[in-house]
Amino acid sequence: MAERLNIPKVTVYAGPMAAGKTNRLHSLIGGFQATHHPYEAFKPSHDIRDSVIQPRGLSENDAHECAVVRSLAEIDAARLVRIGRLTIVLDEFHMFGYNEKHDPIPDAYFNTMLQWGRLGIAEVYAAGLDIAASGNTFPIFNEAHRLGAEIVMLTASCAFPVNGEKGPTCRQVARNSQIWSQKQRMPYRPPSLPDLLPEGGDLDMSYIPVCDKHNVEAYSKEVSVDYIYRADISAQVA
């Protein structure tokens, strides 16, 4: 019988844009702070947004601080264990599966969790996209799933403009995200879309959650959604 791997207890909050993933981490951290539970939170440096855990719609004052690292390997877990912080929180988890050139890091999750487990890290809470806008599942999410992490799947409300760009949005359950080009007034085409495009990295890009129907349909339609998340994106870059 295979020996059970000594890896931390991992919980991953996954789902499309605007599903409340970061919100879950934010609440969790609020709980840790209230109960004096030691933890350390990290974000990957290729997410260009601020070094805080700040769900959409929440003010900067209410955001939680977090450290920014280039990779999971840069997190000094031995030091964390020494100072009694056995809980690690990771935002933008899907991006931790890539290096700074945006190439996938093979076995990023497995190698990290094995090391962290040996060192004594007890639990990890992560939030990130499960499916890229290309339709591919992020490799690090696949790894976490395969290696027994508890996956909490969240859904959003489809933001596809069913009745013109100023009309109401579809609002069916959304499990996928799309990236729209505002200049081209249409979604990025899957064959040309890399799996990793940091949100806010390009002012031309808007991310929207979409239902199954509109995830497929959108690629053959020319619809502008430039009002969606524009405020968010300019706030991130300012």
Residues near Zn ion (CB under 5 A):
158, 160, 170, 172, 211, 214
Q: Is 13 exposed, middle or buried (0-12, 13-18, 19+ CB in 10 A)?
A: buried
The least CB distance from residue 24 to Zn ion, in Å, is 23
Cβ closer to Zn ion: 108 or 158?
158
Rg of the chain's alpha carbons, rounded to an integer?
A: 18
Nearest C-alpha neighbor of 108 from the set 133, 142, 132:
142
- d(CA 115, CA 28) in angstroms, rounded, equals 24
Nearest distance, CB of residue 203 and Zn ion, angstroms: 25
**Residue 4 C-beta: closest distance to Zn ion, Å:** 42
Q: For Zn ion, give the closer residue by CB, 67 or 173.
A: 173
Q: State the DSSP code for 58.
A: -
Least separation in angstroms between residue 198's CB and Zn ion is 25
Q: HEC profile for 163-215?
A: CECCCCECCCEECEEEEEECCCCEECCHHHCCCCCCCCCCCCEEEEEECHHHH
Instruction: Specify the residue, 118 or 213, whose C-beta has the smaller distance to Zn ion.
Output: 213
Closer of 14 and 170 to Zn ion (Cβ): 170
Q: Please, are residues 43 and 66 in contact by the beta-carbon 8 Å criterion?
A: yes
Which is closer to Zn ion, CB of 172 or CB of 236? 172
